[in-house]
Amino acid sequence: MKDTIQFFSSIIVLIFVNSCKAQTTSLVAENAKLVQIANEYSFTEGPASDQEGNVYFTDQPNDKIIKWNSSNNSLSVFKEPSGRANGLYFDHNGRLLAAADENNEIWRIDENGKVDTLITNFENKKLNGPNDLWVDLKGGIYFTDPYYQRSYWDRTTAELTNKNVYYILPNSNTVFIAATNLVQPNGIIGTPDGKTLYVADIGDQKTYAYTVTENGNLTDRKLFTTMGSDGMTIDNKGNIYLTGNGVTIFNSKGEKIHHIPINEEWTANVTFGGKNQDILFITAKGSIYTLQMNVTGVRYTY
């Protein structure tokens, strides 16, 4: 009986290990290699893909937004100066949203680079420093607002007591606090059905999953993993990608399933781009990397 139990236990372990291996190896395309496509920047951040698969990212110290053209793998300056933009995301009308850190604002930028400032303060107090954004199915905008002291600011303290996640109602400039009780909220990404929002609290080394309510509030906070993150993305299998020490991938249950090492001191952010949304686009220190994947992004699939 004991031998039989040990036999079946071994089979179960073997199946589990092989299943994990299969899931891990299926994420990255066969024989794919990490490619450094540029290393000429100071600190790259905030990658966001448009509907054609081009990726826009920021070089915050140099006050630029750069465009990567997915058709020919070329790079060009999209906007300079850029309001010291940090995180980026496209709205449903193809306009680029930017967490404009210089004056602690949220910008909406059209294809010609014209800026419409959406938010400049909260309850007549300057925002801490909008960092990252995500747009829900209705067009509402969630953004994180940590506080990182900048050399180009006149102030040295925050006007707001808390570091929150905010929500801008669709087609308006009305903003309210969607989630609080965070140390330093940073990366943010939602599921394609709009029902779950992940928020990384890098100051507390935790990432949470929230339920998104009909009015935009975030409820039912659950600990997703005991790892914070600078930036985040999600693939079509529901896996969550966190950054910092390379890129660490978790399944929807919060289990670590893969790690992509990056030979840089810090990996800031990550998204999917390319015409088929199957190229992982990684910003790390002064560099940009790409990796061909078997999974895809979800930004333009709903």
pLDDT band at 297 (very low <50, low <70, confident <90, very high): very high
Distance in angstroms (rounded) separating the CA atoms of residues 223 and 213 = 18
Q: Percentage of the chain with pLDDT > 90?
A: 89
Average pLDDT over residues 198-224: 97
The per-residue pLDDT for range 131-147, each reduced to its tens digit, is 999 999 999 999 999 99
Just give the CATH number of 32-292. 2.120.10.30
Listed residue (299, 259, 295) closest to 280, CA to CA:
295
Distance in angstroms (rounded) separating the CA atoms of residues 235 and 49 = 13
Q: Does 12 score more than 80 pLDDT?
A: no
Q: What tokens appear for 22 in the block?
A: 């299969």
CB 230 within 8 A of CB 246: no
DSSP state of 61: G
The per-residue pLDDT for range 89-112, each reduced to its tens digit, is 999 999 999 999 999 999 999 999
Q: Does 221 score more than 90 pLDDT?
A: yes
First to last CA, the chain: 52
Q: What pLDDT shows up at residue 300? A: 84
For the chain, which residues make up each domain, given as ranges? Answer: 32-292
Q: Does 4 score more than 80 pLDDT?
A: no
Read out DSSP for 96-142? EEEEETTTTEEEEE-TT--EEEEESEETTEE-S----EEE-TTS-EE
Average pLDDT over residues 6-18: 41
Which one is predicted more confidently, 197 or 2? 197
Q: Which amino acid is at 78?
A: F
Q: Does 13 score more than 60 pLDDT?
A: no
Average pLDDT over residues 49-64: 97
Distance in angstroms (rounded) separating the CA atoms of residues 153 and 149 = 8
pTM above 0.85, yes or no: yes
